[in-house]
Chain A
Amino acid sequence: MADPSYPDDLKYHPEHDWARIDGDTNTATFGITWYAQDALGEVVFFDAPDVGAEISKDQPYTEVESVKAVSDVFAPLSGEVTAINEALADKPETINEDPYGEGWLVKVKLSDPSEVDALMDSAEYQATLD
């Protein structure tokens, strides 16, 4: 399992989700943070939403399960799901191994890019973990 890390190029939601924003296309990639995957333990199931699903900031849009626990995943921003990480169906543990890379969950076309202003940067997020 990777060491704790909170990349500077991401935006963070207090429910331990991250968003990587592509400002040119108003799309974003979502995932869960190192802290979230560590608290959950080894992920054994990612219940992906449907492509086309509308998701709302601060609302759960999917679930990830470890052997012992199930956890809601909250949308850091609002929009329409344009892609899901199909590779997680066979290898959900990728979420643990590479939470900011191969372990991404969904790509979303943002409905209100200004919502980004409400998210935290890496330093602000890490301060909430202490």
Chain B
Amino acid sequence: MSFTTELRRTPLYDRHAAAGARLVPFAGWEMPVQYAGIREEHIAVRTGVGVFDVSHMGQVETTGPQALDFLQHLLSNDLRRMPEGGAQYSVMCREDGGVLDDLFSYRLAECTFLTVTNAANHEKDLAWLQSHADGFDVDVVDRAADFAMLAVQGPKARDLVRKLSDGALPGRFRVCERSVGGAAVLVCGTGYTGEDGVELLMRPDDASGLWDAITQAGATPVGLGARDTLRLEVCFHLYGNDMDENRNPIEAGLGWCCKERTGFIGSDAVAAAREDGTAEKLVPFAIEGQGIARQGNPVIGGGEVTSGTFSPCLERGIGMAYVSSARAAEGTPIEIDVRGRTRPAVVERKPLYRKGA
């Protein structure tokens, strides 16, 4: 456990400061929350291309003859379905099904996996993984200090990165090594905005040069503020808001990435929750009329908003909330107590924002 209060900086700190970013503490890091403005950055990603510094996220490498068996024991998805050069989303659970983190894993070689952690959970995840490695022929290595990470997202993202790259880009949920802007980069066909695009992992020393090449090619710098509004419009979960160790993946709406037959830690609890149902469910909602619900606002009659914001694309208050399962069906009217004012809302279908809708 570290008790230092000093905020860490990514290799791109100077670039953010020079671009006029507003820097805020986030999960122990000093990160850009916005540059030109959240709405403008959000629209840039929906209509063009934006670049995010996500170097605060952690990486754990798992290698060895039993790397697949080991990760299958810890991660909720079916890793046998992930070919070499593939990517997969999963959650990691406690025995009781409580969600420790949500993660993307990349299969770099038959027996080499790279798993990306949320910044706030990296140390916890690493300790959990290493503490379960006994009995498996694997090495679990902290690689967080070895990588900087950029997300290039938007309908024009692939085109931009392709022009800087020495070869074709990987497809959706695929990963490959490329030279991009002259640097060795792990190019991943993933992202967390609901738009097409790639995520790039590189040596920290190469991050500034790549950032410059990508922004000079026309990508708009985008901060964590728009990262949050973009992911919420498409109902992607934010760990710590929408689920945590006190929620199982079924009530969080993450049952789709849980394959209990694989026997992962927590699979019995997840199977029971799936079979028996849960008292509450996480649902997307949209406010009817004016008002913006925020995290922590109570749902009248039981439940709580876990993420809430103003949707730049839908131009109304949106969010996700836990409500009793009896009121979780699409179209159900709910009321949210927004700082003392009752705001009517409706349970919606995922995603809240659809392209071209």
Residues of A at the B interface (CB closer than 8 Å) are 1, 41-42, 44-45, 47, 63, 65-68, 70
Asked if B291 CB lies within 8 Å of chain A CBs, one says: yes
Closest Cβ–Cβ distance, residue A4 to chain B (whole Å):
13
Contacts between the two chains (Cβ within 8 Å), count: 40
Specify which chain A residues have a CB less than 8 angstroms from the CB of B290 in the assembled complex. 45, 47
Taking a contact as CB atoms under 8 Å apart, the answer to whether B339 and A67 are in contact is no
The tally of residues in B whose CB lies under 8 Å from a CB in A reads 18
Residue from A1, A47, A67 in contact with B310 in the complex, judged by beta carbons closer than 8 Å:
A67
Closest Cβ–Cβ distance, residue B162 to chain A (whole Å):
31
Residue of B nearest to A1 (CB): B37
Specify which chain B residues have a CB less than 8 angstroms from the CB of A63 in the assembled complex. 339
Taking a contact as CB atoms under 8 Å apart, the answer to whether A41 and B34 are in contact is yes
Specify which chain B residues have a CB less than 8 angstroms from the CB of A66 in the assembled complex. 38, 310
Taking a contact as CB atoms under 8 Å apart, the answer to whether A67 and B39 are in contact is yes
Given contacts A41-B38, A47-B291, A67-B39, 11 further A-B contacts (CB under 8 A): A1-B37, A42-B38, A44-B292, A45-B292, A63-B339, A66-B310, A67-B309, A68-B38, A68-B225, A68-B228, A68-B309
- Interface residues in B277-325 by Cβ distance below 8 A to A read 290-292, 294, 309-310, 312
Specify which chain B residues have a CB less than 8 angstroms from the CB of A70 in the assembled complex. 292, 294, 339
Residue of A nearest to B225 (CB): A68
> In the docked arrangement, what's the CA distance between A63 and B42, Å?
24
> In the docked arrangement, what's the CA distance between A45 and B309, Å?
11
Residues of B at the A interface (CB closer than 8 Å) are 33-34, 37-40, 42, 225, 228-229, 290-292, 294, 309-310, 312, 339
Specify which chain B residues have a CB less than 8 angstroms from the CB of A41 in the assembled complex. 34, 37-38, 225
Specify which chain A residues have a CB less than 8 angstroms from the CB of B292 in the assembled complex. 44-45, 65, 70
Residue of B nearest to A48 (CB): B290
Known: A41-B37, A41-B38, A42-B39. A67 touches B294 (CB 8 A): no
Specify which chain A residues have a CB less than 8 angstroms from the CB of B229 in the assembled complex. 67-68
Main secondary structure of the interface of A (DSSP, over half): strand
Which residue, of B225, B290, B310, B339, has the highest number of chain A Cβ atoms within 10 A? B310
> In the docked arrangement, what's the CA distance between A84 and B225, Å?
30
Specify which chain A residues have a CB less than 8 angstroms from the CB of B339 in the assembled complex. 63, 70
Residue from A1, A45, A47, A67 in contact with B312 in the complex, judged by beta carbons closer than 8 Å:
A67
Taking a contact as CB atoms under 8 Å apart, the answer to whether A45 and B33 are in contact is no
> In the docked arrangement, what's the CA distance between A43 and B305, Å?
22
Specify which chain B residues have a CB less than 8 angstroms from the CB of A44 in the assembled complex. 39, 292, 310
> In the docked arrangement, what's the CA distance between A99 and B40, Å?
19
Specify which chain B residues have a CB less than 8 angstroms from the CB of A68 in the assembled complex. 33, 38, 225, 228-229, 309
Taking a contact as CB atoms under 8 Å apart, the answer to whether B38 and A65 are in contact is no
> In the docked arrangement, what's the CA distance between A17 and B26, Å?
29
> In the docked arrangement, what's the CA distance between A83 and B38, Å?
31
> In the docked arrangement, what's the CA distance between A41 and B35, Å?
10
> In the docked arrangement, what's the CA distance between A41 and B21, Å?
12
| 29 A-B pairs in the complex with CB atoms less than 8 angstroms apart | A41-B37, A41-B225, A42-B37, A42-B38, A42-B39, A42-B40, A44-B39, A44-B292, A44-B310, A45-B290, A45-B291, A45-B292, A47-B291, A63-B339, A66-B38, A67-B38, A67-B39, A67-B225, A67-B229, A67-B309, A67-B310, A67-B312, A68-B38, A68-B225, A68-B228, A68-B229, A68-B309, A70-B292, A70-B339
Pairs of residues from A and B, 10 with the lowest C-beta to C-beta distance, nearest first? A67-B38, A44-B310, A67-B310, A42-B37, A68-B225, A65-B292, A42-B39, A45-B292, A67-B229, A67-B309
Specify which chain A residues have a CB less than 8 angstroms from the CB of B228 in the assembled complex. 68
> In the docked arrangement, what's the CA distance between A66 and B37, Å?
10
Residue of A nearest to B33 (CB): A68
Residue of A nearest to B38 (CB): A67
Closest Cβ–Cβ distance, residue B51 to chain A (whole Å):
19
Residue of B nearest to A89 (CB): B290
Closest Cβ–Cβ distance, residue B202 to chain A (whole Å):
29
Specify which chain A residues have a CB less than 8 angstroms from the CB of B40 in the assembled complex. 42
Closest Cβ–Cβ distance, residue B272 to chain A (whole Å):
38
> In the docked arrangement, what's the CA distance between A78 and B291, Å?
26
> In the docked arrangement, what's the CA distance between A42 and B112, Å?
45
> In the docked arrangement, what's the CA distance between A72 and B33, Å?
21
> In the docked arrangement, what's the CA distance between A63 and B228, Å?
22
